[in-house]
Homo-oligomer: A and B are copies of this chain.
Amino acid sequence: MAQSDTVDRILDAAEELFAERGFSETSLRMITSKAKVNLAAVNYHFGSKNALIHAVFARFLTPFSATLEQAFDELEERCGDHPPTLNETLWALTESSIRMPQRNEKGIAIFMRLLGLAYTQSQGHLRKFLEQEYSEPFSRFMRLLKQATPQLSAVDRYWRIQFMLGATAFTMSSSDALRDILQNKTGVETSVQEIALRLVPFLAAGMQAENPMLTPPLDSKISVA
């Protein structure tokens, strides 16, 4: 074979195992035995385990980042001069992730789970890699959010964006487990698309909540001070 498929087999296996178990909990030997390739192939083709992790992310993040840029372009064009609304911005992001070209049926779930892990697991090298490779669509999203919520103070907006990120990353990073729990308890099946469909209204409502400082009940022991 001229161009070996070993690289792809490794990436496929690594992607799935990383998503299932996390990075440090997945050994190269698990990956190579699942991919049915030799152990040394990983270091031959990628150089190191960290570089393999980067490659796994790059394989889906590069096309996703392109799709997202395009979605933002269309959105801003469609809106003309007035800035896109919060709902439109969130849906542009959601649709981009859902309509991504998928390698298999688990595509989105793995994609989301990996993104969640990237935030959650404190892998310094990964964060650095993602920041310097994909900072542009990220800050563009932030800019759109700012335009869509002019009524919020910078501080309020900052914290609410963190809340959104948290709800998304956390839910997606354990979406398999959560889906299974729900499946066992109620027999209801839930696709990742449906989770996203439920998540966006939740986030939008939270972002647009009333002034946060007025809500503690009168008898609360917490002072605003």
Across the two chains, which residue of chain B brings its CB closest to A88? B217
Contact A217 B171 (CB under 8 A): no
Contact A166 B162 (CB under 8 A): no
Tell me the residues in window 129-172 of chain A with beta carbons closer than 8 Å to chain B beta carbons. 154-156, 158-160, 162-171
A214 to chain B, nearest CB (A): 8
Contact surface of A with B, Cβ cutoff 8 Å: 20-22, 24-25, 87-88, 91, 94-95, 98-99, 116-117, 119-122, 154-156, 158-160, 162-171, 173-174, 177-178, 182, 185-186, 188, 190, 193, 195-213, 215-217, 220-222, 224
A80 to chain B, nearest CB (A): 15
Contact A116 B170 (CB under 8 A): yes
Across the two chains, which residue of chain B brings its CB closest to A78? B219
Contact B170 A158 (CB under 8 A): no
Contact A209 B204 (CB under 8 A): yes
Contact A217 B160 (CB under 8 A): no
Bound CA–CA A166/B212 (angstroms)? 19
A150 to chain B, nearest CB (A): 17
Question: A interface, by DSSP: helix, strand, loop or mixed?
Answer: helix
Contact B158 A167 (CB under 8 A): no
Contact A116 B122 (CB under 8 A): no
**Known A-B contacts A24-B24, A170-B116; A155 and B216 likewise in contact (beta carbons under 8 Å):** no
Bound CA–CA A216/B87 (angstroms)? 8
Contacts of A193 in B (CB 8 A): 222
Across the two chains, which residue of chain B brings its CB closest to A175? B162
Bound CA–CA A163/B182 (angstroms)? 14
Contact A170 B119 (CB under 8 A): yes
15 contacts between A and B (CB under 8 A): A22-B121, A98-B222, A119-B170, A119-B174, A120-B174, A158-B185, A159-B195, A162-B171, A163-B199, A165-B170, A197-B222, A197-B224, A201-B210, A201-B212, A202-B212
Taking a contact as CB atoms closer than 8 A, the residue among B87, B170, B173, B206 that contacts A203 in the complex is B206
Bound CA–CA A159/B181 (angstroms)? 11
Contact B122 A120 (CB under 8 A): no
A24-B24, A202-B212, A204-B209 given. 11 additional CB < 8 A pairs? A21-B122, A88-B217, A98-B222, A117-B120, A120-B120, A155-B188, A158-B182, A159-B178, A166-B170, A196-B222, A198-B212
